Structure 1
């Protein structure tokens, strides 16, 4: 499939940049990947799935950075690199610490910018997107306006952030309650979202073979963030894709059960073109990418919008 993508450029990657995080128990380490040249560069904050770290998701991060985005990745407390014990008192609240990690990045952009050689003065603070995979998608959805329902079904704290102008939710879990497996209901009570206030423009990506042990439902569970939220949204359904969407969490990682380089390449290009359009950088590449996908003789997925 022919895609309308800009020429790639060399990338600078710096880690760790350490952000002060009082009350977290660990300072927040982040990695920054940025195009070596260019001004007014838009920003993507990326939240990883359970257990991963700032060193993960190279197939997406490298692509975005090589095509004009500064990508900032935190290492959340659940990362295997930190090895937090299950009985740590922070464990039940990691979902909140995750959201706070992303807000801390937004609050300390000056320090982050100053810590990367050659980046000073090049960030476009008015064009910031957030993207996340799996648990990272749930984390990002909170910044976009989703809320966690309490035991009585009432929405909890509004943790949205107006600095985030667009989102990408990859393999992001759906409704809780009766839709959760007994294991998930017991261990992850925060997996009980309401998307009714998630108004920020968002691309939701779901694999139609993503069958989760956390839910009693099928792969359609991962489309809830699209169908149950208001505002301008798009849904990319990837045919044959499982939870890793072809291999986005790293190059040749063992957790990928559906390895498919073509699928990853499509996802790189479509997320890039979507964010270009959503952040008002380009009003043609997303439309062109959608038309190319529709005209493909053997499409790898489909897009719908509202």
Structure 2
């Protein structure tokens, strides 16, 4: 089996400029961008927001972005590919990495901008940033494990801040999200836990009767809660079949299915093929490309 070194799947890039010379562009990896100093504007997927020292941005694959530099600026990029979640890479906690990334990719109603809203968390992330730079440069014993765990912690903090930011708790100046947005956000963050996505749990959490929340959800989304949860899980199964080497049994366990056959039966309803057939087809396509 092929093994990848950390430098093949994780890259640190530092860039200073008083004029952004690159055209708007996208990429096929994730980026965490740290603003060391300077001021200007950052446009992600057509949405323009100001940037300031100590801001932190997250880019997912296929995001398009560019900077407009108003004051000389220094940027640090942590870039990593989906191979980081592959079993070809001998790094710890692949399943938990993947869950964090999926939460970031699928969190509803996120407007591109600084991803940290809690200043104590910002200080922690910047301390970890300094640690990663030091380990990446020195390459001392266990540096790969230290860096992988450090980036995992950063992602966890980003997920927490995005969740808190979009719950708008204690912020009277910003309109509260609608009830349906709160329900969707809860489902997406707890999709790995069967109990927390059941109607009885949701009705208790959102202070609605089971019949009321079922009717409300269908009216707002056009689907039942069960249909939505199942369809969302299928998106995650599809993502893991494409981008990881987890076995189908492992994926079934990770997403709360009783066994591989249960997952296969559900997957066939949505994709008209088994998970194995789907993965084989994706692999053939990649080779041909």
**TM-score, normalising length: structure 2:** 0.28
Q: Which has the larger radius of gyration?
A: 2
**TM-score, normalising length: structure 1:** 0.27
Greater helix content: 2
